[in-house]
Amino acid sequence: MEPGVEELMPRLLPVDDCDLAEDFDPTVPPRTPQEYLKRVQIEAARCPDVVVAQIDPKKLRKKQTVNISISGCQPAPEGYSPTLKWQQQQVANFSAVRQSLNKHRNHWQSQHLDSNVTMPKLEDEEGWKKFCLGERVYSEIDVLSDNENLGIDYIKVGFPPLLSIVSRMNQATVTSVLEYLISWFGEKKFTPELGRWLYALLACLEKPLLPEAHSLIRQLARRCSEVRVLEENKNEEQISALNLIICLVSRYFDQRDLADEPS
């Protein structure tokens, strides 16, 4: 070691001068305590003063910081606030769906997927958006093709959240796909395809919630409240779907500060 380093970093295990064998080889396992400590000194002297970690940025998650907002949801438009009885019934139905899914998960996992079903890899955000929403919704294509009556093209319309599909998704995949769809929903309109997948993913989300999932579902509920306020035509079916998601987040997952208060 350099003298300056020796002064700033005094030895925690000082090694007195000792008679080491002439054939002492620091590359072989030490045979005595003195040889071991001497080998440590030699290795420490060879360490560089500055070490830079080699990090692959592709392996880093895009969003690693979990921000939990305490702000609530915007009130429902006048005349569209769900009753307490309706909310309680939705929570009961949702609970029954979750219990059934957990009970029969192994059965559905064993079912073969159709040959046209290829689930994207965990980190494939764009692939999951297209898989769930379909290229038409994802790319915002409104024009139907001439061969639309030939059969359902799931590549275009998206794969529904079949039990044979969602039962194969572990919690990391459920959370990631939920994050991908909420991110998409943050700038896009609400669609039936999106609603079906959000409901299915919430049904697969295990309790107690991890901090990341906790933040995600709160973000989802607030976004639903924003969209229903901005809904110009007040489509009852769409507002009902948005109410349902807010209800499940607030009352089933215990985010009570986000709940709709019955009028």
Residue with tokens 């079949």: 162
pLDDT of residue 143: 47
Burial label, 23 (beta-carbon count in 10 A; 0-12, 13-18, 19+): exposed
pLDDT of residue 14: 59
The C-alpha atoms of residue 163 and residue 261 are separated, in whole angstroms, by: 33
Q: Report in angstroms the alpha-carbon separations of 225 from 103, 114, 190.
A: 33, 37, 11
pLDDT of residue 221: 97
pLDDT of residue 25: 76
Q: Which amino acid is at 79?
A: G
For the domain covering 104-141+152-258, report its CATH number: 1.20.58.1070
Burial label, 17 (beta-carbon count in 10 A; 0-12, 13-18, 19+): exposed
Q: Report in angstroms the alpha-carbon separations of 59 from 119, 130, 215.
A: 20, 22, 22
Low-confidence ranges of the chain (pLDDT < 50): 1-2, 4-8, 66-69, 143-150
pLDDT of residue 5: 45
pLDDT of residue 97: 96
Is residue 155 a contact partner of residue 133, using CB atoms and an 8 Å limit? no
Neighbouring C-beta atoms of residue 72, cutoff 10 Å:
16
The C-alpha atoms of residue 258 and residue 40 are separated, in whole angstroms, by: 59
For 241-253, b/e burial (b = at least 16 CB within 10 A) is bbbbbbbbbbbbb
Q: Can you give the residue ranges of every domain in the chain?
A: 104-141+152-258
The C-alpha atoms of residue 184 and residue 220 are separated, in whole angstroms, by: 11
